[in-house]
Structure 1
Amino acid sequence: MKVALKIGYEGTHFSGSQIQPDQRTVEGELLKVLQETEVITDIDAANLSSSGRTDAGVHSISQVVTFFTDNPRMAIPRILNSKLPRDVWAWAYAEVPDDFDPRRHAIHRKYRYILSADEYDISKMRDAAKLFIGEHNFSNFTKKDKKNPRSTVRQVEKLDIRSQGSVIKIDIVANAYLWNMIRKIVSALTLVGNGTRDIDWISKMLDPENYEEGIEPAPAYGLIFLDVQYNPEPEWVVDCYAVKHTNDFFTREANRFRIISTILEQFVMQPEKEMDLD
């Protein structure tokens, strides 16, 4: 039987999602637990596969992982979560056809990038975002692979930007992505937002046959994989206990980090001013 899991992970301490030798990865941690619970007994026969790869430091709410198993009754989120580390968890599962491919059968993938609002002109960023919608050659927004060249044309269906308190949230939906594509798009948008570049530069960047320029990707820690959609969608069974347990944990963690964030702000010294220690 082939089983699909929806998993989330806080990517700070992972070297990416895909298994790598001598590196801590999301798939590596999941595979260890699947073997420990005897959900998987033969790694090759299990054919573990995921809906996409994320780089070191990138997070996820709804990555989809599939595998073959002879012991599906143990492939339940709450069972797996009892042995998984706290920074990776499962929250839904489904039985899927043997030919279901979580990567190739995906029709939409949604990501969100969160950055500090700082001094960005969000109206300019939104105007620039409109230029990315549709089918474009994103050669200037990825690292070129000269050994294995492939098409750099992708279809961006949606790119929304909104301000929320002290952060800006950038949501992007596309059929597929290139390596570092989202983070480089974010970098381009911030350059327009802070006035370093103008909107016409975005048009040139989307015309790589006539203009080439490298751009550094935005930091990985701001990127989160939100969702992947299929047609037809698997009949997901949500493990309510797993969801509640995870929500409770991260609510506590969010509150803790709000306090830590405030404390860190106290460390920002203003030498030109007299410090107020009251």
Structure 2
Amino acid sequence: MRVALKLAYIGTEFHGSQIQPNVETVEKEIFKALRNLRIIESPKSANYTCAGRTDAGVHALGQIIAFDTDKPNMAIPRIVNSELPPTVWTWAHAEVPFDFDARRSAISRHYRYVMSGEDYDISKMREASKLLLGTHDFENFSRSNGEKSTFRTLERINVRVDGEITKIDVVGNSFLWNMVRKIVTALSMIGKGVRDTDWLIQMLNPEIYEEGIEPAPAYGLTLMGVNYGDNIEWIEDDYSIRRASDQNYKRILRHRVMAEVLGELISTE
């Protein structure tokens, strides 16, 4: 049987999602858990696929992995989670066809970037984001990673303010390396008045205009989900979702306290 899992992780402690030698990665933890539970013998023999790599420090709520197994009763979230660290967890599973490829079968991907919402002209950012919709050459918004084509299609960009936080949602068929984070940088520059929409139009024409911009920090980016249409019937694990919620609420409280402590440390009063 071929099984797909929805995977979430806090990317802060990892050198990205993809397995690499001598460093901590999300896939290292996943492969170890699946082997320890004897769900798979190896990623290669199980025809393991992943919806897409995420960079060091990037998080995920709806990353998708798929693999063949002769123990589908073991390939469920609450069992797999028993072998994973608290910063990585699965929360839904599905039976999928043997030709299902987590990356190639995807219709679209949804990323969200969260940043401080101060001093941005949100109206300008929203207007500028409309120029990015559709199919464009995003070479100026990527780092070369050997892609044959730098053309990508964006379906939706939503910029909204939530208190003191700005959230930017980007949905597209696929993304180049650092593409979302560089889009965030571009929109932020426009929101602060450093650049304008004419510059953004130029950035979408790399044949006549070339400029490198820094990607926004990795810690603000989350892969929210991957869309495969209506072909997959996901079974959510309520226990795993509650367990992850409890563990992360404790982490939230800790960070709130640390934010207050840091505020006191830099206070001049």
- Residue of structure 1 equivalent to 2:267: 269
Which residue of 152, 168, 171 corresponds with 2:169? 171
- Residue of structure 1 equivalent to 2:66: 66
- Residue of structure 2 equivalent to 1:127: 127
2:262 alignment partner AA = L
Aligned-partner Cα distance in 1 for 2:71–2:50? 19
Gapped regions of structure 1 (runs ≥ 5)? none
Mean CA deviation greater in 41-50 or 153-162: 41-50
Aligned-partner Cα distance in 2 for 1:130–1:157? 10
Q: Deviations over 1:199-239 (max 9, x none)?
A: 21101101111111011100000000001011343111111
Mean CA deviation greater in 84-93 or 249-258: 249-258
Aligned-partner Cα distance in 2 for 1:244–1:33? 20
Equivalent residues of 2:144, 2:177 under 8 A apart? no
Aligned-partner Cα distance in 1 for 2:73–2:209? 55
User: What is the CA-CA distance between 1:262 and the residue it aligns to?
Assistant: 1.8
- Residue of structure 1 equivalent to 2:9: 9
1:238 and 2:236 aligned: yes
Equivalent residues of 2:116, 2:166 under 8 A apart? yes
Q: How does 1:17-56 map to 2 (within 5 A)?
A: 17-56=17-56
- Residue of structure 2 equivalent to 1:196: 194
User: What is the CA-CA distance between 1:47 and the residue it aligns to?
Assistant: 2.0
1:220 and 2:213 aligned: no
Aligned-partner Cα distance in 2 for 1:90–1:6? 6
1:140 and 2:156 aligned: no
- Residue of structure 1 equivalent to 2:185: 187
Mean CA deviation greater in 86-95 or 231-240: 231-240
User: What is the CA-CA distance between 1:188 and the residue it aligns to?
Assistant: 0.5
Gapped regions of structure 2 (runs ≥ 5)? none
Aligned-partner Cα distance in 2 for 1:43–1:58? 23
- Residue of structure 2 equivalent to 1:113: 113
User: What is the CA-CA distance between 1:22 and the residue it aligns to?
Assistant: 1.2
2:166 alignment partner AA = I
Q: Deviations over 1:129-161 (max 9, x none)?
A: 11111111101001134xx45111100000000
Aligned-partner Cα distance in 2 for 1:34–1:203? 47
User: What is the CA-CA distance between 1:269 and the residue it aligns to?
Assistant: 3.4
- TM-score between the two structures when normalised by the length of structure 1: 0.94
Note closer, same or farther for the CA distance 1:35–1:215 as it changes in structure 2 (3 Å cut). Answer: same
- TM-score between the two structures when normalised by the length of structure 2: 0.97
Local SS of the residue matching 1:70: coil
2:68 alignment partner AA = F
